[in-house]
Amino acid sequence: MPLDTIRLNETPEGVDLGLRVAGPAPRALALAADGAIRLVILLALSPLSALSGLGLGLNLIAVFLLEWLYPVTFEVLYGATPGKRAMGLLVVHDDGTPVGLSASLIRNLLRVVDFFPLFYGVGLVCTLVDRDFRRLGDLAAGTLVVHAQRRSTGARAGRTHAGGTPAPPGLPIATQQAILAFCERARRLSGARRIELAETLLAHLPSPATGPARARGWAAVEQVEGYGTWLASGRAGD
Partner 1 sequence: MDLDRMSVVLRPRGPWEGIDLGFALGRAWFPTLWGLWWCSALPVGLLALPLCGARADWWLLLLWWFKPLYEAPLIWWISRSLFGERSPLGRAWQLQRAAWTRHLLPYLLWRRLAARRSLNLTIGLLEGLDGAALRQRRRVLGDGAGAAWLTLICYHFEAILWGGLLLTLVYLIPTGLPEGLAGLDLGAALTDSQSWPYWLSGGFYLLACSVIAPFYCCAGFALYIGRRTELEAWDLELAFRRAAPDATAGAPEKGAARPGRRGSPRTAVSAGLLCAAVLAAWPGPPVGADPLPPLPAPAPARALIAEVLADADFGRTRTESVWTYIGPDEETAAPDPTWLKDLADFAVFLGRLVKGLLVVLAVIAVALLIRRILRDWQPGAWRRRRPARRPAPAAPESLGADADPDAAGLARAVRARLAAGDPRGALALLYRGSIGHLGRRGLRIPDGATEGECLRLAAGHPGTGDLAPLRHLTRDWQALAYAQQAPDPERIAARLDDWLRWTGSAAPAGEPRVPAGSDADGR
Closer to partner 1 at the Cβ: 6 or 39? 6
- Residue pair 144/138 in contact (Cβ under 8 Å)? The answer is yes
Strand, coil or helix: what is 156?
coil
237 is a contact residue toward partner 1 (CB under 8 A): no
5 is a contact residue toward partner 1 (CB under 8 A): yes
Considering only CA atoms, which of 156, 133, 153, 157 is closest in space to residue 143? 133
151 is a contact residue toward partner 1 (CB under 8 A): no
Total binding residues toward partner 1, as defined by CB under 8 A? 60
**At its nearest, how many Å lie between partner 1 and the CB of residue 178?**
3
Task: Classify the C-alpha dihedral 149-154-157-158 as positive or negative.
Answer: positive
For partner 1, which residue of 45, 124, 139, 219 counts as binding (CB under 8 A)? 124
- Residue pair 22/133 in contact (Cβ under 8 Å)? The answer is yes
The whole-angstrom separation of Cα 126 and Cα 132 is 10
The whole-angstrom separation of Cα 221 and Cα 228 is 11
The DSSP element (H or E) to which 143 belongs, if any, is strand 143-147
177 is a contact residue toward partner 1 (CB under 8 A): yes
Strand, coil or helix: what is 46?
helix
**At its nearest, how many Å lie between partner 1 and the CB of residue 209?**
14
- What is the identity of the amino acid at 145? V
131 is a contact residue toward partner 1 (CB under 8 A): yes
The whole-angstrom separation of Cα 104 and Cα 74 is 10
Closer to partner 1 at the Cβ: 13 or 53? 13
For partner 1, which residue of 41, 58, 171, 215 counts as binding (CB under 8 A)? 171
For partner 1, which residue of 13, 53, 162, 172 counts as binding (CB under 8 A)? 172
State the residues that interact with partner 1 by CB under 8 A: 2-6, 8, 10, 14, 16, 20-26, 28-29, 87-88, 117-122, 124-125, 128-129, 131, 133, 147, 150, 167-178, 181-182, 185, 188-190, 193, 197, 200-201, 204-206, 234
